[in-house]
Amino acid sequence: MRSVSQANAQNAQVKRAQSPGKFFKIYLLPPEHGGWFLLLGPFALGVIAAAQPNIELLALLLFALASYIARQPLTLLVKILAGRRAKSDTHPTLLALCGAGAVAALPLGVLIWRGYAFLLWLGIPAALVLAWQLWLVTQREERQLGIELVGAGMLALAASAAYWVSVGAMTPTGWWLWLLAWLYATASIVYVYLRLKQRRMKIMPLRAEQWRDGRRALLYIGAASACALAFALAQFVPPWTPFAFILASAHFVYGITHPCVGAKPARIGIEQSFASLGFYALLGLIFAL
């Protein structure tokens, strides 16, 4: 009787997991909520910088979103094969993967048909990073800062793709947009880790401790700002490019000196989301002017 009860409970759990709401939440939606802005921010950067909107950008956006979503069921499939998830998850995982893959394939075909086959070159570094991420999943080592920083670089390729689709050619400016987007994204990830550490504090830390905890975030945004200044002086990017990073640095300093003790994660996420979108919009306008 006990085994029958356990089987019934397991079947009920599977049915709940396969309900429409649970299906999307478990098998399709990536758990990293900040990843959406690491993708959409650079995409907006490329669109604003080019200032030449066209219908193909909608196809590119659909492809980018579907590809990003497909990573979740692909990761789950690797976990199933590695014995980290139950075999009962195989069918819904394959269904989600095939669905996301089909949605991604259609706009990609449209883009290739419209003459944007050169975008396929971006798939090479993206595939290499994805392979590394999936290998770390098999080793139970996917939760580490290093892979997040590299993954941010993969998502930042959306800036290059959006710019090239807008202007209709694979120009050097697209690479500079990608590099600048990646530099900011790495700094913002480190900054968010700092804010999440602050929220777990019991009391407001002393000023010296605030600066000590914020050293790494300052190092990343400082290095990004220095690179932006060097690129501007070398005339690789517009002269006002460092201004966007200076404003971002000011935001980081404010966060370091105003710890969010006891704050909810949602508040931290909303704060950084608005800051990131503002940065990418400003940087795009600098390139567009």
Q: What is 152-183 written as a DSSP string? A: HHHHHHHHHHHHHHHHTS--HHHHHHHHHHHH
Within 10 A of 234 (CB to CB), how many other CB atoms are there? 8
What's the rounded Cα separation, in Å, for the pair 216 and 95? Answer: 42
What's the rounded Cα separation, in Å, for the pair 47 and 244? Answer: 17
User: Judging by beta carbons within 10 Å of its beta carbon (0-12, 13-18, 19+), is residue 7 exposed, middle or buried?
Assistant: exposed
Helix axes 241-257, 172-199, angle to 10 degrees: 10
Q: Check: CB of residue 286 under 8 Å from CB of residue 240.
A: yes
pLDDT in tens, 91-104: 888 998 999 999 99
Determine the pLDDT at residue 15.
Answer: 54
pLDDT in tens, 262-286: 999 888 988 998 999 999 999 999 9
Q: Check: CB of residue 164 under 8 Å from CB of residue 172.
A: no
What's the rounded Cα separation, in Å, for the pair 248 and 277? Answer: 11
Residue 211 pLDDT more than 80? yes
- Domain ranges in the chain? 171-289
Q: What does each C-alpha distance from 116 to 21, 45, 157 come to in angstroms?
A: 36, 19, 15
What's the rounded Cα separation, in Å, for the pair 210 and 257? Answer: 6
Q: Show the tokens assigned to 255.
A: 């966060």
Residue 10 pLDDT more than 70? no
Reduced DSSP (H G I as helix, E B as strand, rest coil) percent helix, strand, coil of the chain, to 5? 80, 0, 20
pLDDT in tens, 167-208: 999 999 999 999 999 999 999 999 999 999 999 998 999 999
pLDDT in tens, 29-76: 777 767 788 999 999 999 999 999 999 999 999 999 999 999 989 999
Determine the pLDDT at residue 22.
Answer: 79
What's the rounded Cα separation, in Å, for the pair 156 and 109? Answer: 22
Could you tell me which residues come within 8 angstroms of residue 248 by beta carbon, excluding any fewer than 6 positions away?
184, 187, 188, 221, 224, 225, 275, 279
Could you tell me which residues come within 8 angstroms of residue 138 by beta carbon, excluding any fewer than 6 positions away?
78, 81, 82
What's the rounded Cα separation, in Å, for the pair 225 and 214? Answer: 16
Determine the pLDDT at residue 65.
Answer: 94
Share of the chain above pLDDT 70, in %: 92
